[in-house]
Amino acid sequence: MARRLPEGRLARGGKLGALAAKQAVRGGRTRLSMVGRSERAKGLLAERATIQMAENLVTVLGSMKGAAMKLGQMLSVIELDLVPESHREQFREKLAALRDQAPQAPFSAMREVIEADLGPMAGVFTDFDESPTAAASIGQVYRARLRDGRDVAVKVQYPGVDRAIHADMRNLALLMKLWRLWPSANTAMLDEITRNFESELDYLREANTQHLVAEQYREHPFIIVPDSVVEFCTPRVLVTEYLDATGFDHMRALPAADRNHIGELIYRFYIGSLFTNHEFCGDPHPGNIMLAADGRVGFVDFGLYNRMDPANVAFELDCFHAAIEGRADDLHRLMLDRGIVDMESGVTAQDCLEYIWAASEWHMIDEDLTLTPELATGAVVSAIDPRQTEFAGMKRQMLPPEHVFSRRADFLTFGTLGHLQSTNNWFRIGQEWFFDRPAETEIGREIARWRASR
């Protein structure tokens, strides 16, 4: 029988606290056992302790669901240099379970949620598969058929997950303490997750958002977004069109040309939409991307969907233009005026320029580039890891909240494309929105024709 989701602050904080205490004891023992050993032996012991801690973290985050598990999902994409390179692939596999194989709740408990919100299931569905097709951080997904004959996906929140998430938020200080066992965490990014997580709990809000996005991409030549069936959606139940598709692991195994094609579409959907529509999904990760039976790339999960003020988008473009053109003084002035850089910090114009290039070079260089997990991790660590002395001044600056969300989307898109190992000239693709230039790729030209026909 599945265990009930712990909801209270003490219960959930206790899990993380126990893990932190366990690691502290293990760390002390490891240090003692190093006395008198050779440097090689010390290195092996330290590596073993790090790997054990990583495995424990995966286990704890995966069992908690909620906000804690969302942090694990982020790690599964960007990794943040958590384990030695020799064990990194093994760690990726463990983290991948947080994306697609979250602990399942029994259908009896999920049925109570459905019927509390929609009434007797027989009044809505003619068929309902009780085995979930996917399990995520705050709910499970089922396949069903409506009484009008439509095949649908039904996402149902775990009972009590709202209280569990609020407990996670109150335990943020403890989560941060645990995270600092690896000081490559970024406080602003974690704070941003906490601020936005409540929006993921409102499935009715997500249903309305998904309907609007589905309308934007209706009859798109390369992208599909399954529409929501709003009349059967509630704050805890989300009903959408069923998408006949395969998952990310299938895409990773495709030939290079196919992965490059898919990679361009992922890039356009998650990055291009910010600059073309001033809105974007802030949760790019492999579990939300599928390959539909008709060859189009499908995108799901719009709980973390943001709209950005055009003035803020214009600011990001101004910074990008200054950086790519090497105008360090202009970039520095923009960051000072915005309050990103403190006048008394000692951060120079050259610091600003080199920092932007280190974090965003992948779509600033005019050449073909194959993205890998190592490249993505390297860029993120270079940008936010306080252990790195490079850019130390920049890392002490405060990014305004309205830009944290878009930078998170940028990093996670980079990480997702790294796992796909897609090759493209990302600059040539992005110049459509970065510089308002005509499309240079065949995909871009076909999309332009589709937009014109609308």
- Determine, yes or no, domain membership for 436: yes
Q: Give me the mean pLDDT over the 222-246 stretch.
A: 97
- State mean pLDDT over 366-372: 92
| Residues 336 and 213 occupy one common structural domain | no
pLDDT of residue 375: 80
Q: 139 pLDDT exceeds 50?
A: yes
Instruction: Report the pLDDT value the prediction gives residue 256, as an integer from 0 to 100.
Output: 97
Is residue 379 pLDDT above 80, yes or no? no
Residues 116 and 236 placed together within one structural domain of the fold: yes
Q: What is the pLDDT of residue 331?
A: 95
Confidence check: pLDDT of 372 > 90: no
pLDDT in tens, 35-88: 343 444 434 434 454 445 455 555 555 555 555 555 555 555 555 444 556 656
pLDDT tens digit sequence for 93-108: 665 555 544 556 899 9
Q: Is residue 248 part of a domain?
A: no
Mean pLDDT over all residues of the chain? Answer: 78
Asked if residue 428 and residue 345 are part of one domain, the reply reads yes
Tell me: pLDDT of 393 over 80.
no
Pick the more confident residue, 231 or 407. 231
The pLDDT of residue 16 is above 70? no
CATH number of the CATH domain containing 153: 3.30.200
Tokens 């027989």 correspond to what residue? Answer: 122
pTM exceeding the 0.85 threshold for the entire prediction: no
Percent of the chain with pLDDT over 70: 64
In SS3 terms, the chain reads as: CCCCCCCCHHHHHHHHHHHHHHHHHHHHHHHHHCCCCCHHHHHHHHHHHHHHHHHHHHHHHHHHCHHHHHHHHHHHHHCCCCCCHHHHHHHHHHHHHHHHECCCCCHHHHHHHHHHHHCCHHHCEEEECCCCCEECCCEEEEEEEECCCCEEEEEEECCCHHHHHHHHHHCHHHHHHHHCCCCCCCHHHHHHHHHHHHHHCCHHHHHHHHHHHHHHCCCCCCEECCCECHHHCCCCEEEEECCCEECHHHHHCCCHHHHHHHHHHHHHHHHHHHHHHCEEECCCCHHHEEEECCCCEEECCCCCEEECCHHHHHHHHHHHHHHHCCCHHHHHHHHHHHCCCCCCCCCCHHHHHHHHHHHHHHHCCCCCEECCHHHHHHHHHHHHCCCCCCCHHHHCCCCCHHHHHHHHHHHHHHHHHHHHCCEECHHHHHHHHHCCCCCCCHHHHHHHHHHHHC
Q: Is the pLDDT of residue 207 over 80?
A: yes
* pLDDT recorded at residue 399: 67
Whether 13 shows a pLDDT value over 60: the answer reads no
> Do 217 and 227 belong to one domain?
yes
- Total domains, the chain: 3
Q: Is residue 28 one of the residues assigned to a domain?
A: yes
Q: Are residues 211 and 339 in the same domain?
A: no
| Same domain, residue pair 398 and 417 | yes
Confidence check: pLDDT of 158 > 60? yes
- As a whole number of angstroms, the longest Cα–Cα distance in the chain is 75
Residues 88 and 147 in one domain: no
Contact predicate 369/159, CB 8 Å? no
* Whether 93 and 161 share a structural domain: no
Give the residue from 242, 258, 275 where a domain finishes: 242
Domain contains 368? yes
Residue 351 placed within a domain? yes
pLDDT at position 185 is 41
Residue 48's domain comprises 9-99+171-181
Q: Are residues 350 and 408 in the same domain?
A: yes
**Is 50 exceeded by the pLDDT of residue 409?**
yes
Indicate if 125 and 228 belong to the same structural domain: yes
Quick one: tokens of 52? Answer: 């054990």
Which of 369-372's residues contact partners 24+ apart within 8 Å by CB, and which partners? 369/423, 369/424, 369/425, 369/426, 370/421, 370/422, 370/423, 371/263, 371/414, 371/417, 371/418, 371/420, 371/421, 371/422, 371/423, 372/418, 372/421
pLDDT band with cut points at 50, 70 and 90 for residue 346: confident
pLDDT of residue 196: 67
| Domain assignment present for 333 | yes
Band (pLDDT 50/70/90 cuts) for residue 29 is very low
Q: What is the pLDDT of residue 359?
A: 81
pLDDT (mean) for 117-123: 97
Q: Are residues 31 and 177 in the same domain?
A: yes
Residue 318 belongs to a domain? yes
- Residue 264 near residue 441, CB atoms below 8 Å: yes
Same domain, 94 and 210: no
Given this model, what pLDDT does residue 72 score? Answer: 55
Examine residue 253 and state whether it is found in any structural domain, yes or no.
no
pLDDT value, residue 253 = 97
Q: Is the pLDDT of residue 347 over 80?
A: yes
Least confident of 188-202, 381-395, 439-453: 381-395
